[in-house]
Amino acid sequence: MPTIATLAGGVFEPDLPNRLLSIASEIRDVGGRAFLVGGWVRDALLGKDCRDYDVEVYDITQDELVPILKKYGRTNLVGKAFGVIHLAMKGLSLDFSFPRTESKVGYGHRGFVVHTDEKLSFKEAALRRDFTINAMGMELPELTLCDPYGGIDDLKKGLLRHVGPAFVEDSLRILRGVQFASRFALTLAPETVELCKTLSLADLSVERLFEEFKKWLLKPGKPSLGLRAFLDIRLNEFFPEVFPLHKSWDALGAMLDNMEATRRSLADEGKALSDDEAMEFAFAAFLCGNPETSLKFLERITNEVHLLKNVPLILNSYCGLEFAIVNDAPSLRRLAVKLGGLKLLCLLVKCTPREFYAAAGDMNFPQKLWQAAADLDLIEAAPQPYLTGKMLLDLGIKPGKQMGEIIKQSFELQLDGKIKNADEAIAWARERIAIGL
């Protein structure tokens, strides 16, 4: 199995399927060349395994490639206009493409004319890619590096630099720059910043915007560096609903980094957030500078109902918290009912830079809030009414307005701590029925 010298000076043996190496050898036997391209190469140089095997094939035609691939599995020309062949095998699927050039001819991300040309050089084909770190290839089967635009040097310098003029043909690349800066601890090159400032995101769909924000806020990395890129490009002018935390962008960056570290720590402890919880937590952290504009921002980038509903609720509760609530069990119970549990709110409080609580007079507020919520069993879920409709049926109460009112009143007493279990709830209901109320 071939090995790779990583940027850190180590030796990395990537997880490469033997079938892929065999296919590459057969391609070479008929005069062609096969390159792993894009994110796989970047990740391998960083010593990370990647299961997305994108293979670019040079110097042979589609008619020559397909018979080779058919020996290994079922082929499907999934992108005739783009020259992409999907190979499905048992336990593995691979995409093979031909070098191509792209020309912008219309509005939006579909307004391109694509020309495939197996005779293009790797350097010519790589010119259409976004950033130099994604414009590298490794020729199979030996994994010989081809780096025509200095991607390795940029990775070493922690620099994210566009490849060439074609960058401007897809405005999504602006947000890709933000999420790459976060995920790989990179800073945008000055010339790339200036180029990004000339572009607009107005032609992008909600779905495309949302995917890039998710990658920025949910993939492992350093989200504050994404925020730096966001601000350098002046995306805060395109998204004026995003505010600094307590008038400080550095504080918001710290909040985002704390959010990512907290999420990772929970996963390491076997307490990983669900996908929905992780999204709500991440976007709440990102939008915590101004809860009042959170819904407007979310409506611009997503149709996810749980985000549109829950993130503003969490943020409004976060904004209205007072230190005294840790000693106010009824208020904590009612807040848990409103939010469906206090976990995400407590985590958001925990991620707030500590100096804000120190300045307000209680540096230990995050720990106190978590402990108070845990003591009342409010972390994971809201309290449920002790008194149920079935219990009232057994007491002779018929379904209807009276039953609903009794359950509601009982639950209010339960939240106040005046009814502590189901037996007390039933006893209270009997008294109400006995006096005809």
Q: Which of 322, 287, 289, 319 is nearest to 301 (CA)?
A: 287
Q: What 3-state DSSP class applies to 264?
A: helix
Say yes or no to pLDDT of 114 above 90.
no
Q: What Å distances lie between residue 116 and 34, 52, 104, CA to CA?
A: 15, 22, 15
- Using one digit for the tens of pLDDT, what is the confidence trace for 368-426? 999 999 999 999 999 999 999 999 998 888 898 888 999 999 999 999 999 999 999 99
The answer to whether the CB of 429 falls within 8 A of the CB of 395 is: yes
What number is the average pLDDT over the span 158-176? 95
- Cα pseudo-dihedral 34, 39, 43, 49, rounded to 10: -70
Q: What 3-state DSSP class applies to 4?
A: strand
Least confident of 81-90, 108-117, 171-180: 108-117
Say yes or no to pLDDT of 83 above 80.
no
- Using one digit for the tens of pLDDT, what is the confidence trace for 278-297? 999 999 999 999 999 999 99
**pLDDT given at position 105:** 45
Beta strand pairing call for 4-5 and 54-58: unpaired
Q: Which domains does the chain have, with CATH numbers?
A: 4-156 (3.30.460.10), 171-320 (no CATH), 389-434 (no CATH)
The whole-chain average pLDDT of the chain stands at 92
What number is the average pLDDT over the span 90-100? 88
Phi-psi region of 96 (alpha: psi -120 to 50; beta: other; left: phi over 0): beta
**pLDDT given at position 236:** 97
**pLDDT given at position 22:** 95
- Using one digit for the tens of pLDDT, what is the confidence trace for 249-270? 999 999 999 999 999 999 999 9
Angle at 267 between CA 261 and CA 271, to 5 degrees: 120
Least confident of 9-13, 105-109, 122-126, 406-410: 105-109
**pLDDT given at position 103:** 56
- Using one digit for the tens of pLDDT, what is the confidence trace for 26-55? 999 999 999 999 899 999 999 998 888 999
Confidence of residue 111 (pLDDT cuts 50, 70, 90): very low
- pTM equals 0.91
Helices (H), 269-364: 275-286, 294-301, 305-319, 329-339, 343-351, 354-360
**3-state SS string for 21-37:** HHHHHHHHHCCCEEEEE
What number is the average pLDDT over the span 188-199? 97
**Type of residue found at 39:** G
Query: 79: part of which helix (H) or strand (E)?
Result: strand 74-79
